[in-house]
A and B are shown apart, each in its own frame.
Chain A
């Protein structure tokens, strides 16, 4: 792998790992939110939980792709 490409991959992965940490923090916070009495509020919480979960998966996939795309074999 050329040095500049390698450097970019490293920077990308550092950035993605930071993003994963943030996404996990959001997911962690939202998982701690208890049931709401108001239906609309509950729907918003559920949607936010779903979104946080999807974000974690997306970043994970992105890391897998970035870390493996330049590897030989």
Chain B
């Protein structure tokens, strides 16, 4: 089954985040009680903690109450917010950025044709010559941005 990007991003929030593999529970600011309870359950990293949360295993563990669960959730949310975004999100954002550039390019090109054909209302205050020059400059500018994008800048 192929999901569209927003659905995939939504689904990702329910999937364990592999970026959390590298974060040991010893390195985050958990209370001693919660830390010990997690260690007793075999949880070593935030990834383990997240998997246990998703599977709802953590809630069933001895010594882990609602307060501890919320503490773990908060720490995971904080860690995820401070880590670089996952590649999927980076790719999606890049595509959005390029899409916006292409839309801007098309808009400027179509506006240029409209001006070049003199298709503006007679009582309009638009200075056709100046508008054409301005649109051509905008087209050139967006072209350069698209090329810079493809260049990886």
- Known A-B contacts A66-B150, A73-B87, A73-B91; the reply to A21 vs B109 at CB < 8 A is yes
Q: Interface residues of B, CB < 8 Å — how many?
A: 20
- B18 CB, nearest partner CB in chain A, Å: 15
Is the contact region of chain A dominated by helix, strand, or loop, or is it mixed? Answer: helix
Q: Mark A46-73, 1 if CB is under 8 A from B, else 0.
A: 0000000000100010011011101111
Check A14–B147 contact: CB distance below 8 A: yes
Cα separation A56 to B105 with both chains bound (whole Å):
12
The answer to whether A71 and B147 touch (CB under 8 A), given A28-B113, A63-B102, is no
A20 touches B94 (CB 8 A): no
Taken together as a complex, chains A and B put the C-alpha atoms of A71 and B105 apart, in Å, by: 21
* Residue with the highest number of chain A CB atoms closer than 10 Å, among B110, B143, B146, B150: B150
Are A67's CB and B150's CB within 8 A? yes
Q: Does A36 contact B (CB under 8 A)?
A: no
Does A17 interact with chain B (Cβ within 8 Å)?
A: yes
Let me know if A43 is at the binding interface, CB within 8 A: no
Name the B residues within 8 Å of A17 (CB-CB).
105, 143, 146
**Which listed residue, A25, A64, A71, touches B102 by the CB 8 Å rule?**
A64
Asked whether any CB of chain A lies closer than 8 Å to the CB of B152, the reply is yes
Contact indicator B102/A10 (Cβ below 8 Å): no
For B90, the closest partner residue in chain A by CB is A73
Chain B residues within an 8 Å CB radius of A24: 106, 109-110, 113
12 pairs, CB–CB < 8 Å, chain A vs chain B: A10-B147, A17-B143, A28-B110, A60-B102, A63-B98, A63-B102, A64-B95, A64-B98, A64-B99, A68-B98, A70-B150, A73-B87
Known: A1-B152, A71-B150. 8 other contacts (CB 8 A): A9-B150, A13-B146, A63-B146, A67-B150, A68-B94, A70-B150, A70-B152, A71-B152
Enumerate chain A interface residues (CB-CB to B < 8 A). Answer: 1, 6, 9-10, 13-14, 17, 20-21, 24-25, 28, 56, 60, 63-64, 66-68, 70-73
Closest 7 CB pairs of A and B: A67-B150, A73-B90, A28-B113, A24-B109, A13-B150, A73-B87, A9-B150
